[in-house]
């Protein structure tokens, strides 16, 4: 089997599995218990928090563990709406992850926010003039992803943050796809909130993190024991948090490996003929290749790859043999596409084998 769907999720690194194991069998205390087993679990959670903070350039005290990227995004958006606020407008883009876009649309429908959704051009670049006009003195929050999950296009967050802060609005960055693939620094981005998710960088599923600029207040999504600065009540999943800390450390150590991944991705793309590669004129994640093959429906490509035991991602529903484009592809004015996303574990041989299967399609 060849796995080229690393933007969907990643294999848990061996070092991560090894580090988690003792926290299931020996150090299984509740991280909030006062006894020694609890204190050891607590210390492990705090060490992981420091590692995750370092991955995104935040202070350790600014990081709250969540269950996933979806929860981190919801905690920021709902946490601001549920807190006392005077401004009610939220500005976002048409290519955000559904965890942001569908939530914002639901809040808009319920009359809780005014929503402005800024479009992108055919290369996936955000319309910055439209963004500048959309952000005004009523804007509470501007929420924009750092790297787009389907195309890998990297957005100019620092520029957008300058526009937002200039109007007194807060800035949330969904960095779920970026963390572990490119350097992420919450200060350089000038973000007030930044979301990541462990399973995108070789940690287990079930742990995300939200960096919250010191001094900013959110209302929790639910109430209980007051864990995670009172923002995320519920007994912490200590083994998974420990694993996420180790994965964050490994991600920083292996960031340079993405030079090799980029070379692989570029060789993959330049070996293909009769394809359109979406977002390729923009700054892009080094591991992502999103493409349409001339004259061949995305669903047919996906079927052939699946038969060859090659895992990639399509997105979009299939209607009577023709695949509908995803919301992101529609926003770019593009047809349904196929996403290949590599990791530091992807090999030359896997890329060669994938190229042979694609070559046979023509």
- Provide the H-helix boundaries in the chain: 14-20, 22-25, 36-56, 69-81, 98-109, 128-134, 157-166, 186-189, 238-253, 258-270, 298-307, 327-331, 348-359
Does residue 151 touch ligand PLP according to CB under 6 A?
A: no
56 counts as binding ligand PLP under rule CB under 6 A: no
Q: How far is the CB of 97 from ligand PLP (least distance, A)?
A: 4
Interface residues for ligand PLP in 239-278 (CB under 6 A)? none
Residue 325 near ligand PLP by CB under 6 A = no
- State the minimum distance, in angstroms, from the CB of residue 99 to ligand PLP: 5
339 beta partners? 290, 313
Closer CB to ligand PLP, 16 or 68, in the complex: 68
Of residues 23-52, those binding ligand PLP (CB under 6 A) = none
Scored b (16 or more CB within 10 A) or e, 31-44 reads: beeeeeebebbbeb
Of 187, 195, 354, 208, the C-alpha closest to 268 is 354
The verdict on whether 318 is a catalytic residue reads yes
User: Which residues within the stretch 190-229 sit at the binding site for ligand PLP (CB under 6 A)?
Assistant: 197, 199, 208
Name the catalytic one among 8, 128, 304, 318: 318
Looking at beta carbons, which residue is closest to ligand PLP?
A: 69
Minimum distance, C-beta of residue 73 to ligand PLP, in the bound complex (Å): 6
Q: Does 69 bind ligand PLP (CB under 6 A)?
A: yes
Q: Shortest gap between Cβ of 92 and ligand PLP (angstroms)? A: 12
User: How many positions of this chain bind ligand PLP (CB under 6 A)?
Assistant: 13
Binding mask 152-191 for ligand PLP (x = CB under 6 A): ----------------------x-xx--------------
Distance CA 191, CA 171 (A): 5
With respect to ligand PLP, which residue has the nearer C-beta, 196 or 264? 196
Rule CB under 6 A: say whether 339 interacts with ligand PLP.
Answer: no
210, containing H or E segment: strand 208-212
209 Cβ contact list (under 8 Å, min separation 6): 52, 56, 63, 64, 65, 66, 72, 195, 196, 197, 198, 244
Element at 65 (helix H, strand E):
strand 63-66
User: Which letter does DSSP use for residue 97 in this model?
Assistant: -
Site string for ligand PLP, 126-145 (x = CB under 6 A): -------------------x
Q: Which of residues 84-123 bind ligand PLP (CB under 6 A)?
A: 97, 99
Task: Give yes or no for residue 12 binding ligand PLP (CB under 6 A).
Answer: no
Tell the burial category of 67 from Cβ atoms under 10 Å away from its Cβ (0-12, 13-18, 19+). Answer: middle
Residue 337 beta carbon to ligand PLP: minimum distance, rounded to whole angstroms: 15
Angle at which helices 36-56 and 238-253 cross, to 10°: 30
**Backbone phi, psi, residue 210, to 5°:** -125, 125
Which residue, 20 or 68, has its beta carbon nearer to ligand PLP?
Answer: 68
The DSSP element (H or E) to which 293 belongs, if any, is strand 288-293
What CA–CA distances, in Å, run from 157 to 123, 150, 161, 177, 333?
17, 18, 6, 14, 23
SS3 351: helix
Q: With CB under 6 A as the contact rule, which of the stretches 33-41, 65-73, 210-218, 310-318 interacts with ligand PLP?
A: 65-73
Min separation Cβ 288 and ligand PLP, Å: 11
Q: Which is nearer to ligand PLP, 149 or 287 (CB)?
A: 149
Q: How far is the CB of 180 from ligand PLP (least distance, A)?
A: 12
List, as one string, the DSSP characters of 144-190. Answer: EESB-TTT-BBP-HHHHHHHHHHTT-EEEEE-TTTBTTB---HHHHT
Among 56, 68, 126, 163, binds ligand PLP (CB under 6 A): 68
Catalytic residues: 318
Q: Which residues bind ligand PLP (CB under 6 A)?
A: 68-70, 97, 99, 145, 149, 174, 176-177, 197, 199, 208
């Amino acid at each position: 089997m060849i796995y080229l769907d690393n933007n969907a999720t990643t294999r848990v690194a061996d070092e991560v599995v090894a580090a988690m194991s003792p926290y299931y069998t020996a150090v299984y205390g509740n991280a909030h218990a006062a006894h020694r087993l609890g204190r050891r679990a607590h210390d492990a959670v705090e060490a992981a928090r420091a590692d995750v903070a370092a991955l995104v350039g935040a202070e350790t005290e600014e990081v709250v563990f969540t269950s996933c990227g979806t929860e981190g995004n919801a905690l920021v958006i709902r946490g601001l709406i549920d807190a006392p606020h005077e401004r009610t407008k939220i500005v976002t883009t048409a290519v955000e992850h559904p965890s942001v876009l569908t939530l914002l649309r639901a809040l808009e429908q319920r009359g809780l926010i005014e929503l402005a959704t800024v479009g992108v051009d055919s290369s996936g670049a955000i319309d910055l003039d439209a963004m500048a006009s959309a952000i005004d003195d009523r804007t509470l929050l501007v929420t924009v992803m750092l790297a787009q999950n389907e195309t890998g296009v990297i957005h100019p967050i620092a520029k957008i943050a300058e526009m937002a802060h200039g109007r007194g609005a807060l800035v949330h960055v969904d960095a779920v796809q970026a963390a572990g693939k490119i350097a992420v620094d919450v200060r350089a981005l000038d973000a007030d909130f930044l979301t990541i998710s462990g399973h995108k960088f070789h940690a287990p599923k079930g742990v995300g993190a939200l960096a919250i600029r010191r001094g900013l207040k959110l209302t929790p999504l639910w109430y209980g024991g007051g864990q995670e600065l009172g923002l995320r009540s519920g007994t912490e999943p200590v083994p998974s948090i420990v694993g996420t800390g180790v994965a964050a450390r490994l991600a920083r150590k292996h960031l340079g490996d993405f030079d090799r991944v980029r070379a692989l991705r570029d060789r993959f793309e330049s070996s293909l003929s009769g394809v359109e590669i979406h977002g390729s004129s923009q700054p892009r994640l080094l591991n992502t290749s999103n493409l349409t093959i001339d004259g061949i429906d995305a669903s047919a490509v996906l079927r052939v790859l699946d038969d060859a035991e090659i895992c990639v991602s399509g997105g979009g529903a299939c209607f009577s043999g023709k695949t509908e484009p995803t919301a992101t592809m529609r926003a770019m004015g593009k047809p349904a596409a196929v996403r290949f996303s590599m990791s530091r574990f992807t090999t030359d041989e896997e890329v060669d084998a994938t190229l042979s299967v694609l070559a046979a399609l023509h």
